């Protein structure tokens, strides 16, 4: 199997110096490792030679990282070297099983939908998939949105929800109660994947995409089997197809698109082709869609770009109350339509588009989200003493 998501390193003089020092130190560290660290030594040597890990080797590697058996410099080297050679489906699947084994999981609904994407496209759009999860929920779609604060963008899903007044850090029992009452749950990654703390600073210091950008949409704590997954690189579509088929997805749309300017997006495009691989009933089918097929006007990328959490929260509020510009509304509706289709509530994407538009234009989407915020605040107050 060919590797995916190969990234050219370095991408700047700064990264060049950083990675040169890292790789040099890594080779020195391998030589100096005691016999008790032989598995670590072999793993690093394999990566330095450009070889791929088996699924079993990746499980061992990820378990060792999360159990604190590897130093930060070794973890950084592993992440950088994996990215340099390109991550394979077997490596991704091995990491998936390792992280899910350590996760704090919870049971919500077999039909819950996750709209978590990879991020990392650097296009600077507002939080479209988060907006879509809110609108889709108002059409009757159960949502189990997995997300985090920003790592590779200016505003993550957790950041914008918090700016909207949503308490992102509810304990699992409160999140389950919120879901039972509203059909909406936000699964804040650090609460459900506490072992990921071990790599948070390393990822930030490296400043490059790593295998963890790929894993985010795969490790939903509610084990969501209906997913809309936006990916930053078209090569990743095949990787996600392989991994999602192996891990038992029920219905998924893997999405990657381009703008007329040639900029890649991890969400549907309003001014270029949107490439999709649909996984349904164990089969994978490719599609290519254009905005005109859904009666949408083409919009430049600049028209759907956002900013920090407060700016993006305002954009979402205006979409919900109907005062947003056409480009923002169209971007939200296009993605929501796909989420509705994946959920099984819509028989096709066009049907999902009609459902989303009706919910938004009737004011139901805004009303439902305000209800979610109210119940979320009540549960936050109820469980706050236990959280402190």
Measure the CA dihedral 120/126/127/132, to 10°.
-120
In a domain, 3, yes or no: no
Tell me, yes or no, whether 93 and 226 share the same domain: no
**pLDDT band, very low/low/confident/very high, at 119 (cuts 50, 70, 90):** confident
What pLDDT is attached to residue 232?
87
Q: What is the mean pLDDT of residues 18-33?
A: 48
Same domain as 184, residue 37: no
Half-sphere exposure of 47 (CA within 13 A, CB side): 28
Task: Please report the pLDDT score of residue 312 as a whole number.
Answer: 96
Report pTM: 0.88
Q: What is the pLDDT of residue 218?
A: 96
- What residues does 277 pair with on adjacent strands? 254, 286
Average pLDDT over residues 247-255: 96
pLDDT at 254 over 80: yes
* Those residues with Cβ within 8 angstroms of residue 14's Cβ, 6 or more apart along the chain or in another chain: none
With H, G, I as helix, E, B as strand and everything else as coil, classify residue 356. helix
- Does residue 250 sit in the same domain as residue 316? yes
Do 146 and 238 sit in the same domain of this protein? Answer: yes
pLDDT band per the 50, 70, 90 thresholds, residue 153: low
User: Average pLDDT, whole number, for the chain?
Assistant: 89
For residues 239 and 271, state if they share a domain. Answer: yes
CA dist 103 and 195 (Å) reads 8
Domain at 168, CATH number: 3.40.1030.10
Between 172-182 and 364-387, two packed helices, what is the crossing angle to 10 degrees? 160
Single out the residue of 364, 375, 380, 383 nearest to residue 141, CA to CA.
364
Tell me if 383 is assigned to some domain.
no
Same domain, 98 and 176: no
Residue 130 inside a domain? The answer is yes
Please name the helix (run of DSSP H) or strand (run of DSSP E) that holds residue 258, with its range, or none. strand 251-258
pLDDT at 118: 85
Residues 85 and 194 in one domain: no
Query: Where in the sequence is the domain holding 50, given as residue range(s)?
Result: 13-102
- 186 neighbors 161 (Cβ within 8 angstroms): yes
pLDDT greater than 90 at residue 387:
no
More confident residue, 3 or 301: 301
Average pLDDT of the residues in 235-256: 96
**What is the per-residue pLDDT for 15?**
46
Is the pLDDT at 335 greater than 60? The verdict is yes
Q: Are 255 and 248 in contact (CB under 8 A)?
A: no
pLDDT digits 0-9 by tens, 34-59:
433 448 889 999 999 999 999 999 99
Task: State percent of the chain over pLDDT 70.
Answer: 88
CB–CB of 159/150 below 8 Å?
yes
Tell whether 172 and 51 lie within a shared domain. Answer: no
Domain holding 21: CATH number?
1.20.970.10
Q: What is the DSSP string of 186-239?
A: EEEHHHH-GGGHHHHHHHHHH-S--HHHHHGGG--TT--SEEEEE-SSTTHHHH
pLDDT band for position 32 (50/70/90)?
A: very low
User: Is residue 222 pLDDT above 70, yes or no?
Assistant: yes
Mark whether 92 and 209 lie in a shared domain: no
pLDDT digits (tens, 9 = 90+) for 54-103: 999 999 999 999 999 999 999 999 999 999 999 999 999 999 999 999 99
Structural domains of the chain, count:
2
Q: Are residues 117 and 98 in the same domain?
A: no
What pLDDT does 4 receive? 53
357 closest CA partner among 71, 132, 157: 132
């Amino acid at each position: 199997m060919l590797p995916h998501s190969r990234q050219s390193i370095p991408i700047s003089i700064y990264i060049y110096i950083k990675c040169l020092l890292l790789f040099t130190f890594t080779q020195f560290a391998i030589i100096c490792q005691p016999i008790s660290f032989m598995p670590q030594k072999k793993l690093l040597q394999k990566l330095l030679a450009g070889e791929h890990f088996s699924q079993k080797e990746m499980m061992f590697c990820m378990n060792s990282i999360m159990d604190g058996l590897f130093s930060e410099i070794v973890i950084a080297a592993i992440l950088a070297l994996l990215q340099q050679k390109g991550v394979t489906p077997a490596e991704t699947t091995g990491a998936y099983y390792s992280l899910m084994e350590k996760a704090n999981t919870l049971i919500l609904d077999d039909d819950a939908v996750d709209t978590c994407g990879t991020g990392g496209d650097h296009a600077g759009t507002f939080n479209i998939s988060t907006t879509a999860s809110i609108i889709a929920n108002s059409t009757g779609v159960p949502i189990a949105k997995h997300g985090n604060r920003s790592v590779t963008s200016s505003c993550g899903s957790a950041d914008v929800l918090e700016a909207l007044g949503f308490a992102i850090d509810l304990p699992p029992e409160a999140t389950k109660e919120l879901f039972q009452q509203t059909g909406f749950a936000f699964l804040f990654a650090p609460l459900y994947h506490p072992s990921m703390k071990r790599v948070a600073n390393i990822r930030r210091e490296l400043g490059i995409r790593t295998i963890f950008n790929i894993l985010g949409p795969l490790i939903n704590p509610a084990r969501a089997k209906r997913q809309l997954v936006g990916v930053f690189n078209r090569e990743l579509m095949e990787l996600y197809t392989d991994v999602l088929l192996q891990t038992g997805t029920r219905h998924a749309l893997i999405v990657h698109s381009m703008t007329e300017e040639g900029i890649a997006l991890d969400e549907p495009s309003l001014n270029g082709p949107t490439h999709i691989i649909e996984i349904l009933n164990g089969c994978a089918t490719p599609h290519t869609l254009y905005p005109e097929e859904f009666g949408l006007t083409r919009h430049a990328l600049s028209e759907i770009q956002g900013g920090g959490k407060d700016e993006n929260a305002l954009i979402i509020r205006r979409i919900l109350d109907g005062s947003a510009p056409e480009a923002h509304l169209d971007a939200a509706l296009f993605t929501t339509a796909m989420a509705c289709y994946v959920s099984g509530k819509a028989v096709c994407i066009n049907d999902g588009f009609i459902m989303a538009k009706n919910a938004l234009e009737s004011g139901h989407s805004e009303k439902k989200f305000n209800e979610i915020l109210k119940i979320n605040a009540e549960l936050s107050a109820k469980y706050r003493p236990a959280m402190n």
